[in-house]
Amino acid sequence: MRLLFIILLVACAPGVFGSSAFAQSQSVTGSLASSAGSASRSGTSAGDATGEQAVDGIAARIEDDIITDSEVRELGTFQGLVDGKSKPRDEVIKELADQWIVRGEAAAAAFPEPSKEDVDHAYNELVKQFSSPQEFHDKCAALGLTNAAVRRILKQQLFLSRFVDYRFRPAAQVDQAQIQAYYHNEFAPQLEAKHQAVPPIEEVEDTIREVLTVRAISERAAKWLDETREHLKIDIESPHSQGAGS
């Protein structure tokens, strides 16, 4: 899910952060300054949603902040809802560290949060990925995710994806040669392989331009995150280390 909704929320963010079912449909993831993890920690975790009173622990330390076990569990649970499976713990922590980086930049820029209508739209788009609203609600219940938790995660992902789009779109320029190369080398062959008619390039030019723009944004954002992470102090805790001395 790293940078998932950067791609996923192109439709939800007019003008675009790593869950394949949602991403495939797009052709291709308050104050946040004091604590980068506060948005996730302030809400209901996957364990809390089932009524369990799990003792939270520290999954990782990042600079002078922490990533909690409940944040890791909740993102993994959300991945289970969207992808059908969650990634390994270390990968989930890496994604949360990426979110920490983006949140810090967005907070420094006083970037506005998405509206309720925007979150409702993202929520409805997610529900559409299932055969029925009932299936969606049943899977949420089985995983221990409340509607409030899902909406809160979507709001955060939408906020982060919009900021990444805001930061990198101006430099993600696409020229006519790139559009033609994509049309001839990727777009047309994919349709021909499915025995579908290939529309003239003029009819799909705007769509291809946006696909390539989103791809460029994703690549630039990934490079920025990789470079930024190299300069951060990130210590991942063993899942068993905290209870070793008790």
Tell me the pairing of strands 234-236 and 58-62: antiparallel
Total-model pTM: 0.73
Which residues contact residue 207 at a Cβ distance below 8 angstroms, ignoring those fewer than 6 apart? 27
Domain ranges of the chain: 4-171
**Nearest-5° angle of CA 60, CA 62, CA 66?**
55
Amino acid at 77: T
Report the C-alpha gap between 158 and 106 in whole angstroms: 12
pLDDT in tens, 38-51: 344 444 444 444 44
The pLDDT confidence band at residue 18, using thresholds 50, 70 and 90, is very low
Report the C-alpha gap between 220 and 234 in whole angstroms: 22
Q: Which CATH superfamily is domain 4-171 in?
A: Porin chaperone SurA, peptide-binding domain (1.10.4030.10)
* pLDDT confidence of residue 24: 31
The pLDDT confidence band at residue 86, using thresholds 50, 70 and 90, is confident
Residue 1 · residue 8 · CB < 8 Å: no
